[in-house]
Amino acid sequence: MPATQTKQRVSFRNILFATNFSSAANSAMPYAAALAKTFGAKLYALHVHEPANYALPPEMWQTLQMTRDMETRCLRDVVKRDFPGITPEILQDEGGVWPALAAAIETHHIDLIVIGTRGRTGIGKALLGSQAEEILRHAPCPVLTVGPRALAQDIVHGKIAAILYATDFGPASLTAAPLAISLAQEHQSKLTLLHVVENRTSHHMASAAEFGESSEGQLRALVPDQANLWCAPHFIVEQGPAVDKILEVSQRTNAGLIVMGVHGPEGIPGAATHLPMATVHKVVAYADCPVLTVRG
C-alpha cells in the first residue's frame, strides 16, 4: 500500500453502540460516548431483543418490555450525565443481531460500531462469541471491540496516548493501516507499527537480521513522510507467536488502542496472508485496551 493512501484524516460521523444491557456491553458504552464526543458524531444505541411471545401471559411479556424501557432510559441518562452534550438515539429491533445491525448501518450511515464482549477463554468462536464474530466478519465499517480486560482509560478520557498497529502485510491488515495512522494524528498519539513473524523459513531471507530489516522497511513504507511532523513512529519486528507478541508489545508501549485487520466471510481460515480470526479473538480477550478491527 503506497504511503500516499494514508493521508486522509479519519472522521466518524455516526457511531453505533450495540448493547444487550449486559455488563460486557455496559463496559463498552463509555468508549462509544467518548468517541462520539471527540469526533462530534451522532451516537446511536441499538438493542436487539427476542420477538414478544404473545402466547405467554400478558403480564410476562409486558414486564419484559417495561424492563427494556427502564434499561433504555438508564442508558440515556448515564451517557448524558457522564458525557454532556451527547444524547444517544435509542434504536430497538427484534430477531437476529446481525440483520438488525446491518439495517441500522445502512439506514443511519454508520461508520463505526462499538461492542463489548465477555471474551471467554476457549477455542474458536467460544472465545469471542458467535455474534461478535459475525459483526467483525461482516461489518463494512471499523469495529471497536472492548474485551473483559480493557481498562477504562485513554479513549474514555478523550485521548489515545499510544496506538499499536499490528500487521502481517496481508491485504486485510494493510486496509487498517490508514485508520491507525489517521487516529494517531487525530490524537497526537505515540504510534507503534508491529510485524510478527511466526514461522520464518530459510527461503524467506538469508539471515534474521536481513529479514528484520526488510520487514521494518515495509512498515516504514506505510507511514507518510509528513507523519514525522506530529509523531515519531516506532517500528518493531518480532518473532514468535503472534498473539503473545502483540500483547507483549501492547503492554510495553502502554497502548490505549490496538488496530488490526480482519478478513471478511470469504477469508480462508489459517491462510498465511492474513491474521486468522482466532488471533483477533485472543487479542480481544486478553488485551488491556480496546481493539479496533477493519475488514479487508
Residue 97's pLDDT is what? 86
For the chain, the domain total comes to 1
Task: Decide if 258 contacts 250 (C-beta within 8 A).
Answer: yes
Q: State which amino acid sits at residue 266.
A: E
d(CA 10, CA 238): 28
Q: Give the pLDDT mean for 201-210.
A: 52
CATH number of domain containing 146: 3.40.50.12370
Residue span of the structural domain in which 178 resides: 3-295
Residue 198's pLDDT is what? 81
C-alpha cell at 257: 488502542
> The pTM is what?
0.84
Most confidently modeled range among 184-188, 190-194, 269-273: 190-194
Residue 218's pLDDT is what? 92
C-alpha cell at 190: 505515540
C-alpha cell at 284: 480481544
Encode pLDDT of 23-48 as tens digits. Answer: 788 888 889 998 998 899 999 999 88
Look-up: residue for cell 500483547?
247
Q: Which of 205, 218, 214, 289 is nearest to 255 (CA)?
A: 289
pLDDT band of residue 76 (cuts 50, 70, 90) is: confident
Q: What is the DSSP letter of 142?
A: -
